[in-house]
Amino acid sequence: MPATITDRETQPHDLFNPTEAHAALRDMVEKFSLSSLEAQATDFDEREEFNVDLFRRLGSELGLFGLTVPEEFGGSGMDAVAEVIVHEELSRTDPAFTLSYLAHEILFVNNLYVSATDRQRRKYLPGVIDGTKIGAMGMTEPGVGTDVLGMTTVATKKSDRYIINGAKQFITNGDCADYVVLYAKLDANQKDITSFVVESAYPGFSVGKKEQKMGMKASSTCVLYFEDMEVPAENLLSEENRGVVSMMRNLEIERVTLAAQSVGIARRCIDEMAKYAIVDRQAFGRSLVDHGQIQRLLAESYADYAAARALVYQVAAQLHPNARNSLGAASAKLVATNMAERVARNAIQVLGGYGYIREYPVERLLRDAILLSIGGGTNEAMQKNIAADLKKQFTPKN
């Protein structure tokens, strides 16, 4: 990885590293990215495979699983800013690997901890925190994406268990997950949603086709099927028909960490285009950066990146399991993901033909960036959510 525009931003007590623990976390993840993640990123992208062995090291060696889980349950007792730091730093090198981290760490581990009983936490958290088990979340369905309330997966109560039938689409880590936080309805005709923790070893749980994607190729995505899958009643998370509460609460930290991935992608793209324009390439007898067209692409990219990064960290500092921030989370995702696509595209333009080939990582980073405006609720949905939240704030109270 080339020299980076933000090498010196590792001191504590600022927006991006509020404490010494945050600064140390950033330093550790950056070193891991340089020593272990960088070398395998292109290879696993081309092979379209998830590096499971390297992924498990995040738990067994680095302790990066369970950052928001209290130490009492084996976690680090940190916060959403810590999650943003990790997602940003890992995405500078391999956004696809980071997406699988997000699915495990945010969509399963954080989600489960907030919604589960202590008994459920003690049963399921140890394995996913030490990396011996892998987690995922099942929300999107073949016919239902952003309109989650239209899901058709049904859980029918029968004595001391639930019988679940349905399917989930575009599930990150689906083919390697041991545990899944699964959303279903108790009645197909109702709107209320109920959540469960299920195990891939349960009879009736099966994995469908692995998707072939434009980007994020080193993160596995597949269909999950549930055919008369029996789930013990004790695996119900929270209460019946309360799944939307936990879903929406977890979507906020998901959106902020997706935004952090966008920040990491943009940061690497700026590093690549700055080094190329300032150090590596000359045109018409001058450094490439001395040409006004290149200055515009580089300057606007950096300014957009810096603004989005500040917003993402500000919102992350305000996130808490017991306090909603839908407006901030949606805004951070909308701004950062759009920014990352622009910056990655600018990087390709600055590098010219080299940006379009795989000798440089910017073409991979652009392909990966596009997914981030879709996952966690499309950016069109973010616009709708922001407008709805503003409407609530500005509508006069009777």
Whole-number pLDDT of residue 281? 80
What are the structural domains, with CATH classification, of the chain? 20-134 (1.10.540.10), 136-241 (2.40.110.10), 244-388 (1.20.140.10)
Judged against a pLDDT cut of 70, whether residue 288 lies above it is answered with yes
Distance CA 224, CA 167 (A): 6
Rg (C-alpha) for the chain, rounded Å, is 21
With pLDDT > 90 as the criterion, what percentage of the chain qualifies? 88
pLDDT band at 59 (very low <50, low <70, confident <90, very high): very high
Task: Tell me the pLDDT of the chain averaged across its residues.
Answer: 95
67: Cβ–Cβ under 8 A, 6 or more apart, which residues?
Answer: 75, 76, 78, 79, 82, 83, 86, 105
Distance CA 104, CA 54 (A): 14
Q: What is the pLDDT of residues 299-313, one digit of tens each?
A: 999 999 999 999 999
Name the strands in the sheet holding 179-184, side by side, starting at the edge strand that comes first in the sequence. Answer: 135-138, 179-184, 194-199, 236-237
**Comparing C-alpha atoms, which of 204, 253, 250 is closest to residue 82?**
253
pLDDT band at 336 (very low <50, low <70, confident <90, very high): very high
Averaged over 45-70, what is the pLDDT?
97
Task: Give the SS3 label for residue 214.
Answer: coil
Extract the tokens encoding 122: 């003690």
Distance CA 276, CA 283 (A): 12
Judged against a pLDDT cut of 70, whether residue 93 lies above it is answered with yes
Distance CA 61, CA 67 (A): 14
Which residue is associated with the tokens 């080299």? Answer: 354
Whole-number pLDDT of residue 45? 98
Is 254 marked active-site?
Answer: yes
Catalytic residue among 83, 254, 341, 363: 254
Extract the tokens encoding 30: 């950056």
Judged against a pLDDT cut of 80, whether residue 89 lies above it is answered with yes
Q: What is the pLDDT of residues 340-368, one digit of tens each?
A: 999 999 999 999 999 999 999 999 999 99
